[in-house]
Structure 1
């Protein structure tokens, strides 16, 4: 009888403990692809060259492997406690490499549900990464000596 009581108590305790670990799971939004906004798409005009489009939109996420006349810009956010939001802009170019057609999917006018920290991530194109280094006075790191170890 005592053995049965211990087994049932242990089973209930393990069930309760394993169930508690699910409550504290942290999830976060996962953005993927090209950042696509309505402001970017509104700058596109038919007749623009591919270089001009790259300047406005950046390099496309997908280029058709057998036909370089179609570029796809896809942005997808997998929301932690919700659904998936997807935006897609497909650009078609004529044989001379000029923008001919713009197709949009998704609501580009909505604000993006991502937090952007200006201090994190890669440096922006054209900026000097050495000027973006943290100030030495804010770091608690001893300076590195340039003298050989034999002279120290």
Structure 2
């Protein structure tokens, strides 16, 4: 009977300890969409052609499925331990020329996408052998 009580107690304690332990979960910033900054948007002017807009802003993330004269540039940054930042620029064309520029979000602030140091997986090229990958594979001592 005592062995049964010890076994049940040990099992319950083990289940509680393993289920309640918190080691931590690594989270990282998740950036999606078109990178939008103030320099790019300030170069836009009404009357520009679609090719000129594509040269300044890049290809749009979204084109209107029923209206090819609407281009949406969307940037979404889910910061790991902070808020979500969203920027959106909607461009409307008439007769192949830029007619309207609609901005949403804080486009004036630049987004810092540099990797942060700390716990988690190492960033490629930041480890002890960072130059080794650039040199190519090594097959043994050179003759």
* TM-score scaled by length of structure 2: 0.76
Show structure 2 runs of 5+ residues with no match: 116-123, 125-130
Root mean square deviation, CA, Å: 2.5
Instruction: Specify whether residues 135 and 49 from structure 1 end up closer, same or farther in structure 2 by C-alpha distance, changes over 3 A only.
Output: farther
Match runs of 1:88-99 below 5 Å: 88-94=88-94, 96-99=95-98
1:27 equivalent in structure 2: 27
Equivalent position SS for 2:114: coil
Does the Cα contact within 8 Å between 2:38 and 2:110 map onto a contact in 1? Answer: no
2:127 equivalent in structure 1: none
Indicate the structure whose relative CO is greater, using CA pairs within 8 Å and at least 6 residues apart. Answer: 2
Instruction: Specify whether residues 49 and 135 from structure 1 end up closer, same or farther in structure 2 by C-alpha distance, changes over 3 A only.
Output: farther
Please list the CA deviations of residues 2-55 of structure 1 after superposition, one character each: whole Å capped at 9, or x if unmatched: 3233312322222222322x4321011111111111111011011100000000
Does the Cα contact within 8 Å between 2:77 and 2:84 map onto a contact in 1? Answer: yes
Equivalent position SS for 1:60: coil
Equivalent position SS for 2:108: coil
1:13 equivalent in structure 2: 14
1:111 equivalent in structure 2: 110
1:41 equivalent in structure 2: 41
